[in-house]
Amino acid sequence: MKIFLGDKLVDEKDAVVSVFDHGLLYGDGVFEGIRAYHGRVFLLDEHIDRLYDSAKAIALDIPMDKAAMAQAVVDTCKANDIADGYIRLVVTRGKGTLGLNPYLCKKAQTIIIAAKIQLYPQELYDNGLKIVTVGTVRNHTEAINPRVKSLNYLNNVMAKIEAINAGCMECLMLNPQGQVAEASGDNVFAIKNGVITTPPSWCGALEGLTRNKVMELAREAGYIVREDVMARYDLYVADEVFLTGTAAEIISVVDIDKRPIGDGKPGKTTRQLRDLYVECTRNEGALIE
């Protein structure tokens, strides 16, 4: 496997970073998870834009411009013969000292990995997910803003641990006000009487790119789509609930906290949106060539 490290492709065995890298020591850095479909990198420009927005929010200077970064993603896919797969793009603060001071890190480190991924088994796409609400509260927006896709993912990891311990593969996270934020790694949608609703990002949700694309596709299909504050009650009584994410794509939720959603099976609208999304991935994206 070839890994893009710093400013060039290297063999996997040579893809090493310093133990003094602040990404390792303090989770100081940003990342993107990106998908490739049918020889194209899907939503590449949007992912690159979000990466640089996240970096700006944490005062991290990325040592290459957006065009070069996008080309590096394509080159990494090409070097690994990835036509359908998952790209992890990471920018750390770089090598520094054992202290917190980020300004002692001389240069940020870029890492790009292109490989395969399957987040959930096919049976869960066919039958839907069962999830639980966890006690781990989503980070306060003025602590670590969830819109920053940072390497500090312990908030999400702790929520995932609770979910797994409860026998579920995913969970529902609330914000400090008790409102619906997101899942541990995905955005949350509810459908009620034909209206599709998802929490706004200021409620503690990452502004997911799959989320935004699904909202666009739903509106084009004639659905009313809203961003609104939501309580667990709104999910319990919904006709359908589904999650979206780069790795997960679109997956139905059929049970929350032992409450069946709708008839307890993946809903018609969710299936339609998934079909629209899959079709979209066939035709859009930066060519890997």
pLDDT score, position 119:
73
168-180 per-position pLDDT tens digit = 999 999 999 999 9
Average pLDDT over residues 107-113: 98
In angstroms, the CA 57 to CA 40 distance is 29
pLDDT score, position 133:
98
Architecture of domain 122-283: Alpha-Beta Barrel (3.20)
In the chain, domain spans: 2-115, 122-283
116-125, 141-150, 230-239 — most confident range: 230-239
pLDDT score, position 120:
86
Average pLDDT over residues 106-130: 92
**Pick from 32, 285, 279, 260: which is nearest to 153 by CA?**
32
265: annotated active-site residue: no
Average pLDDT over residues 10-36: 97
Average pLDDT over residues 68-75: 98
The answer, yes or no, to whether residue 163 has pLDDT greater than 90, is yes
238-257 per-position pLDDT tens digit = 999 999 999 999 999 999 99
- Band (pLDDT 50/70/90 cuts) for residue 54 is very high
pLDDT score, position 232:
98
Residue with the two structure tokens 């000292």: 97
Q: Which CATH class is domain 2-115?
A: alpha beta
Amino acid at the residue 181: A
pLDDT score, position 104:
97
In angstroms, the CA 178 to CA 71 distance is 42
261-287 per-position pLDDT tens digit = 999 999 999 999 999 999 999 999 999
**Pick from 134, 87, 151, 119: which is nearest to 248 by CA?**
119
Per-residue DSSP letter, 7: T
DSSP per-residue codes, 242-254: EEEETTTEEEEEE
State the virtual CA torsion across 199, 202, 207, 212 in degrees, nearest 10. 50
193-215 per-position pLDDT tens digit = 999 999 999 999 999 999 999 99
Average pLDDT over residues 1-9: 96
**Pick from 217, 195, 215, 219: which is nearest to 207 by CA?**
215
Contact 231, 181 (CB under 8 A): no
Per-residue DSSP letter, 28: -
Q: Which of 149, 213, 265, 268 is catalytic?
A: 149
pLDDT score, position 116:
87
In angstroms, the CA 237 to CA 239 distance is 7
Least confident window among 38-42, 120-124, 194-198: 120-124
The answer, yes or no, to whether residue 118 has pLDDT greater than 90, is no
pLDDT score, position 154:
96
Pull the structure tokens for residue 168. 């579920």
In angstroms, how far is the first alpha carbon of the chain from the final one?
Answer: 18
Average pLDDT over residues 97-109: 96
Percentage of the chain exceeding pLDDT 70: 100
pLDDT score, position 276:
97
In angstroms, the CA 134 to CA 114 distance is 32
- Band (pLDDT 50/70/90 cuts) for residue 2 is very high
